[in-house]
Amino acid sequence: MYWLAMLTMLIDHVGLVFFPADPAWRIAGRLAFPIYAYALYMGYDRTRDMRSYMLRLLGLALISQLPYMLAFDVYRPNVIWTLLASLLALAAASRLKHWAAITCLYVVTALVMELSLMDYGAYGLLLVLIYRYTRTYRMVGAHFALNVVYDLVHHANIQHFSLLSSILIACFASEKSGFYSRVPRWLWRSFYPVHLAVIAVIRIWPSF
């Protein structure tokens, strides 16, 4: 699962920067974010040190910000901020008991993510929540419904291809399936900022 996430993210970003007219790269890349969102939920569910987990994500978000902006020539928060905001929302919700307070927390978090122009915005949080609160066919159905709404709002029908990741997760996400083939921690944690830095250098180099 983690190898697939890194590979499809790399394909997506290479296509976005160097082959923007070819949709095949972006289609393959739609598989990446759902896997990262699911991995975030799994980390939330299994970590013994939430504070350390949050600090790692914060460090990655900070380190990745400049390579992200240089690689894509944008000025908005990178996707690690989206994952961090989602983790903070999950952690805060676990301390609340009333469903209304939890719902209000999630709505406020989604609004902050949208207003700050985080990558994926509220979609990212909602996908994490789908993995938090649903399983199997309900997960796939909820993800499909989310994609429909996202497409209606953003006119991004390519996002429907991301449903394949939820189907894979629903069918094979068990410790015995081999779907969780281990990736070295140093590679998993460094891949995002490092590959962005490489893309940024290649993109900017001809200008010098």
pTM: 0.94
142 near 130, Cβ under 8 Å?
Answer: yes
- Residue 206: what pLDDT? 73
Give long-range contacts, CB 8 A cutoff, 24+ apart: 123-129.
123/150, 124/33, 124/37, 124/79, 124/82, 124/83, 124/85, 124/86, 125/82, 125/85, 125/86, 125/89, 127/33, 127/34, 127/37, 128/37, 128/40, 128/41, 128/83, 128/86, 128/90, 129/86
The residue ranges of the chain whose pLDDT is under 70 are 174-181, 207-208
Distance CA 187, CA 6 (A): 10
Distance CA 30, CA 5 (A): 10
SS3 75: coil
- Residue 117: what pLDDT? 96
Residues 138-178: pLDDT tens digits?
A: 999 999 999 999 999 999 999 999 999 999 999 887 655 45
Number of domains in the chain: 1
Type of residue found at 158:
I
The CA-atom distances, in angstroms, between 82 and each of 33, 201, 205 are 11, 24, 29
User: Which range of residues forms the domain containing residue 70?
Assistant: 2-207
What ranges in the chain are assigned the alpha helix state H? 2-18, 23-29, 32-46, 50-72, 79-93, 99-115, 122-133, 136-154, 163-172, 185-204
- Residue 205: what pLDDT? 85
